[in-house]
Amino acid sequence: MNKVLFGAFVATTLGLGGAAHAQQAVGIATSNPGSLFHNIGTSVANAANASGLNATIQPATSPNQFIPFVNTGGIEFGVANLQEVEYAITGAEWWNGVENPNLRIVGHLQPLVEAIFVRADSGIMSVADLAGLPMTDGYTAQNTILPQLSAFYATAGMTRDDIVPVNVASVVAGADAFMAGDTVGFIFAHGAGKVREADAAVGGLRALGVGDDSDEALASAQAHWPTAFFMSLPEGAMPGVLEETTYIAFPQVVFTHADVPDDVVAAMARAMYEGGTIMGETFPPMRAFRPENMRGALGVTQYHPGALAFFEEVGLE
C-alpha cells in the first residue's frame, strides 16, 4: 500500500482485529472529514480491521482526486457512488476522455440518499422556491455535484440557470457557505456529520425532496444522473426530514484496482458481508446496508474476480 496519497492526504490508522490476513495492510481512499464518504470509508475500515485486514483510511478532497489513484494502483480500495466510477472507467463527462480502465467493483453498500437543505425557518418549502435565490454552485473540486443538483432541479422543471450561483469547491465548503449566510441552501447526503453540524448551527434544517415524484420526473433526473432513483424517508429519520419526503438516491460501492490479489479483494468482500453490525455501529446510516444486495447491477464496470469468487461462495447471484 502506498502510504502517501498524492503527498497531501492525511492518513488515519484504525485499530486492528482478527487473525485472518493480519499482515495484509490495505488502504481505503475516502473524501475529506465531515463528508459522507469519509464516514462510510471509516465504517468499512472498521469492519475490515475486525475481520483481520489492517485497513487505513486516506482522505482526499473528493473522488475526483482519489479515483485515478486507485486506478493506477496507488491504493487498494476506495468508496464512491457507482455513477462516478462508471464515468471514470469510460472517461465520460468531467473526465474529459481520460479513461480509468483498471477500476473494479468489490460490492454495493447502502444507497446514498441526498437532499437540498435550507433553514427550517426560511419559508422555503420546495425546490421550486429556490428560484432566484443564492444557492451553492460550481463545485470545482467535486464534479459529481453539479449534475446531481441539476437532477434535483429537473424534478421541479428548473435548471441551474434559475438560481443565483454561489461558487464553492466541495459539499463541505458549500455547507460552510450556507452556515455563513452566503446561500439559502446546500446539497449534501443524509446522515453526514456536516449536515448535523449545520442543523445545530442554524437552529434546524428542512431537507427539501424532489419537486415531483412521478415517473416523468424521475426520467428528467436520470437525464442528469443515470443511476438515480427515488427513495422516501419517514418523518424524523434524519436531520431536516420534517415530514415523510421523497429524495434522490443512488448506489454506493467499494471499488478496487484490477491487480489487487483475488484473496485480498475476497477478504474485503467478506468483511463487508459479515461486518454490517460494525459498520452500522460506526456510522448509523449504514444500518441500511443489506449484505444480500452487495451484488447489485452494474453498467460498464465489472466486479473484481475476487469479489465474484466470494459471491459464489456465499450464494449471491
- From 250, 276, 297, the end of a domain falls on 250
- From 199, 218, 250, the end of a domain falls on 250
148 and 91 within one domain: no
- Tens digits of pLDDT across the chain (317 residues): 443 333 333 333 333 333 444 468 999 999 888 788 899 999 999 999 999 999 999 999 888 889 999 999 999 999 999 999 999 999 999 899 999 999 999 999 999 999 999 999 999 999 999 999 999 999 998 888 999 999 999 999 999 999 999 999 999 999 999 999 999 999 999 988 899 999 999 999 999 999 999 999 999 999 999 999 999 999 999 999 999 999 999 999 999 999 999 999 999 999 999 999 999 999 988 999 999 999 999 999 999 999 999 999 999 98
134 and 65 within one domain: no
185 and 277 within one domain: no
121 and 240 within one domain: yes
Find the CATH number of the domain harbouring 130.
Answer: 3.40.190.10
CA distance 80 to 236: 26
Q: What's the confidence (pLDDT) of residue 10?
A: 33
Decide: 43 and 278 in contact? Cβ < 8 Å: yes
Q: What's the confidence (pLDDT) of residue 199?
A: 98
5 falls within a domain = no
Q: What's the confidence (pLDDT) of residue 167?
A: 98
Decide: 61 and 28 in contact? Cβ < 8 Å: no
Q: Please state the pTM of the whole predicted model.
A: 0.81
Residue 265 neighbours by CB under 8 Å, 6+ apart? 104, 106, 256, 304, 305, 306, 307, 310
The count of structural domains within the chain is 2
7 falls within a domain = no
201 falls within a domain = yes
Q: What's the confidence (pLDDT) of residue 61?
A: 80
305 and 188 within one domain: no
- From 230, 250, 270, the end of a domain falls on 250
Task: Give me the domain span that covers residue 299.
Answer: 12-111+251-314
The whole-angstrom distance between residue 137's C-alpha and the CA centroid of its chain comes to 18
6 falls within a domain = no
168 and 211 within one domain: yes
Decide: 234 and 273 in contact? Cβ < 8 Å: no
122 and 69 within one domain: no
130 and 245 within one domain: yes
191 and 126 within one domain: yes
46 falls within a domain = yes
299 and 239 within one domain: no
4 falls within a domain = no
DSSP string, 79-112: EEEHHHHHHHHHT-GGGTT---TTEEEEEE-SPE
Q: What's the confidence (pLDDT) of residue 23?
A: 60
